[in-house]
Amino acid sequence: MVGWQQQIKTYSSHKQDNSLSLLANRQRAWIEVDLKALAHNVRTLKSFLGHQTKLMAVVKADAYGHGAVTVAQTALANGADCLAIATLAEGVELRQAGINVPILILGAINAPEDIQAIAAWQLEPTICNPEQALVVEATMAKVGTSLPVHLKLDTGMSRLGTNWQEATSFVQLVQQLSNLQIASIYSHCATAEESDRTMMNLQHQRFRNAIKQLKKVGYVPPLLHLANSAATLSDRSYHYDLVRVGLALYGLYSAPHLQQAIELKPVLQVKAKITQIKTIPAGEGVSYGRKFITSQDTKVAVVGIGYADGIPRNLSNRLEAIISGKLVPQIGSITMDQLMLNVDRIPDLKPGEIVTLIGQQNNLSITADDWANVLNTISWEILCSFKHRLPRININ
């Protein structure tokens, strides 16, 4: 065995006996990754898609904080066809874990040494413009092999890609480069989660137009794709040959109106243990800056999780948690490693009891969307903000 396959073998045998598993416990605070929910979401998405459309599982940013290798393996075992990540290093991590399906790098990569690494690890880059195509061609000519590449068209996102009007000349140029094989042509939607379809329809129109121009000059694209989670759930005409699904894998909806399409289950839960319980008299301040003053004698639980774990400090005094099947309010400033809860409502509480900050218990549920709404951001950002100090514990 040579090259990256050899490295995979070395890495995975090393991984068996390292001490990472010792850290993956429920000692202080942790993230539970519900692999059954993930499997359900993947299977539900697959049956929603039908046979002619492939499912590309987007596992960039450590699978939106859930752990890229486990998520990728579970998604593939339940019907996902291929993977997408954002960076070279993210792709290498998956290869090192022995994953051998096609992996698309969504980000743009320009440096020749990075392109060589992409080829060595058998990853598939996005090509955004003719200049980049020429650099990749020159690099691959030196390496002496060819590379499957994915051409990106900009239809209105104004991020990566060649403007859709120039699709034909872009594709024709890449066709002439003997070391590049066009694996797909794709674009990305800027507003797919909005219920107003105006911009999305315009982007779709531009995408169709670009493809029509290509067909006019006799080029038949091997594979076309356009849809993220929102576009996938909102309109089947966006599915094409493949959909790039991120957020929906993790059981969240890009927007509330998309909930009617399919039934998804949240995959991630955030939990922590109570470390101390005490009663504070009326009129006392709680935490830094005394941003919460007790109005009566108050039973306070200290919990071992804070902003260094990725609990946004801006949620101070605006967060709720679930203990013993009841909702309780968080009080005072969230600190680096700890936060406080008002647990007046909960009798017989002891240190060591588990608090759910994101998750479901009985009929109660707190989701990343709830936090995002309070913070005026999006659930994607919440999921990606959990730090690696929180071990990811996989629940089967």
Ligand X SMILES: *Cc1c(COP(=O)(O)O)cnc(C)c1O
Among 247, 286, 300, 368, binds ligand X (CB under 6 A): 247
Regarding 299 and contact with ligand X (CB under 6 A), the answer is no
CA distance 227 to 381: 20
In the residue annotation, 253 being an active-site residue is answered as no
Helices 88-96/68-77 angle, 10° precision = 60
Stretch of 73-81, 92-100, 242-250, 316-324 lying at the interface with ligand X (CB under 6 A): 242-250
In the residue annotation, 288 being an active-site residue is answered as yes
Output 106 or 210, the one with its CB closest to ligand X. 106
CB burial string 239-263: b at 16+ within 10 A, e below: bbebbbbbbbbbbbbbbeebeebee
**Identified catalytic residue from 60, 152, 273, 299:** 60
In the chain, the DSSP E strands lie at 29-34, 54-58, 82-85, 103-108, 124-127, 147-154, 162-163, 180-186, 224-225, 242-245, 268-280, 285-286, 292-293, 298-303, 320-323, 326-331, 339-342, 354-361, 364-366, 392-395
Output 133 or 247, the one with its CB closest to ligand X. 247
Tell which positions 69-88 bind ligand X, by CB under 6 A.
Answer: none
Tell which positions 248-287 bind ligand X, by CB under 6 A.
Answer: 254
Which residue of the chain is nearest ligand X when measured via CB? 246
Strand partners for 186:
152, 225
DSSP assigned state of 159: S
CA distance 252 to 41: 10
**HSE on the CB side for 24, CA within 13 Å?**
11
**Identified catalytic residue from 36, 212, 278, 288:** 288
- Minimum distance of ligand X from residue 111's CB (angstroms): 20
Output 58 or 180, the one with its CB closest to ligand X. 58
Among 67, 91, 161, 246, binds ligand X (CB under 6 A): 246
Pairing state of beta strands 147-154 and 124-127? parallel
Query: Mapping DSSP to helix (H, G, I), strand (E, B) and coil, where does residue 367 land?
Result: coil
* Unique residue bearing structure tokens 């038949």: 220
Regarding 106 and contact with ligand X (CB under 6 A), the answer is yes
| Cα four-point dihedral sign 192, 197, 198, 201 | positive
- Minimum distance of ligand X from residue 192's CB (angstroms): 7
Stretch of 243-251, 274-282, 293-301, 332-340 lying at the interface with ligand X (CB under 6 A): 243-251
Output 160 or 390, the one with its CB closest to ligand X. 160
Regarding 245 and contact with ligand X (CB under 6 A), the answer is yes
Regarding 338 and contact with ligand X (CB under 6 A), the answer is no
CA distance 202 to 173: 26
Number of shown-chain residues binding ligand X (CB under 6 A): 12
- Minimum distance of ligand X from residue 180's CB (angstroms): 20
Tell which positions 188-227 bind ligand X, by CB under 6 A.
Answer: 188
Q: In this structure, what token pair is assigned to residue 197?
A: 């379809």
Stretch of 39-47, 108-116, 228-236, 319-327 lying at the interface with ligand X (CB under 6 A): 228-236
Among 228, 287, 316, 338, binds ligand X (CB under 6 A): 228
CA distance 357 to 366: 7
Output 54 or 60, the one with its CB closest to ligand X. 60
Residue 122: count other Cβ atoms within 10 Å of its Cβ: 17
Tell which positions 160-189 bind ligand X, by CB under 6 A.
Answer: 188
Stretch of 166-174, 202-210, 245-253, 368-376 lying at the interface with ligand X (CB under 6 A): 245-253
Output 229 or 330, the one with its CB closest to ligand X. 229
Residues marked active site are found at 60, 288
Binding site for ligand X (CB under 6 A): 58, 60, 106, 188, 228-230, 244-247, 254
